[in-house]
Amino acid sequence: MRRILGTTLNDYLPALGLLIVTSLYLALAYTYPEKARVFPTMVAWVMMALLALDLLSRTQTKPGQAVMRALNPAASKPSEQGPSSGRQASAILWIAGFTAAIVLIGILSAVPLYVFAAIRFRGARGYSTAILAAAGTTAFIYLLFGVVLRLNLYPGILFVAA
């Protein structure tokens, strides 16, 4: 298999695929009217930056390894075996539960619950850390979307007026 910067080409494919999709999304977002494209273009540019970091972290270069250690220390350590099927299923169920919570109770209710639960139970951190992180994340989302961008966040099926 061909190697680029010490890494096989196959290891770059997920990030490259997402980069292509994000580029198309960004190009499409720029066709929207000026006010309507603010949020989609912001999301796309953040995604492009994250994908650039992802691609760099996949390289076997000093900067790539530094990014890997800084952003994901657990991934930079070689493991004897890959993640178990149970851990993979658990990760998928957490995301499915979060998605269901967003649909049912809305973004501003689902985000603090997910952040709290993920930090407390998956991250094994204390209650105070989980509560502070959930409150901080919720405040940031409210301030960014509700105050700065003046967008109404999805309230969830259970809280939509009939």
Tens digits of pLDDT across the chain (162 residues): 787 777 777 777 888 888 999 999 999 989 998 888 888 888 889 999 988 888 888 888 888 888 877 777 666 555 555 567 787 788 888 889 999 998 999 888 999 999 999 999 988 888 999 999 999 999 999 998 888 888 888 888 887 765
Same domain, 61 and 28: yes
pTM above 0.85, yes or no: no
Same domain, 69 and 95: no
Same domain, 72 and 89: no
Tell me if 111 sits within 8 A of 99, measured CB to CB: no
Same domain, 32 and 72: yes
Domain of residue 114, residue span: 85-159
User: Which residue stretches of 35-84 are H helix?
Assistant: 38-58, 62-71, 73-76
Tell me if 141 sits within 8 A of 153, measured CB to CB: yes
Q: Which of 157, 38, 37, 30 is nearest to 106 (CA)?
A: 157
Q: Which of 50, 76, 102 is the last residue of a domain?
A: 76
Q: Which of 153, 119, 160, 124 is nearest to 136 (CA)?
A: 119
| Integer angstrom CA distances of residue 117 from 14, 35, 96, 121, 136 | 28, 35, 14, 6, 14
Same domain, 8 and 71: yes
Same domain, 66 and 89: no
Same domain, 70 and 92: no
Position 81 scores a pLDDT of 56
d(CA 10, CA 84): 21
Q: Which of 58, 76, 94 is the last residue of a domain?
A: 76
Position 89 scores a pLDDT of 83
Same domain, 153 and 135: yes
Q: Which of 103, 83, 98, 88 is nearest to 137 (CA)?
A: 98
Same domain, 10 and 63: yes
> Within 10 A of 111 (CB to CB), how many other CB atoms are there?
20
Same domain, 55 and 96: no
Same domain, 92 and 68: no
How many structural domains compose the chain? 2
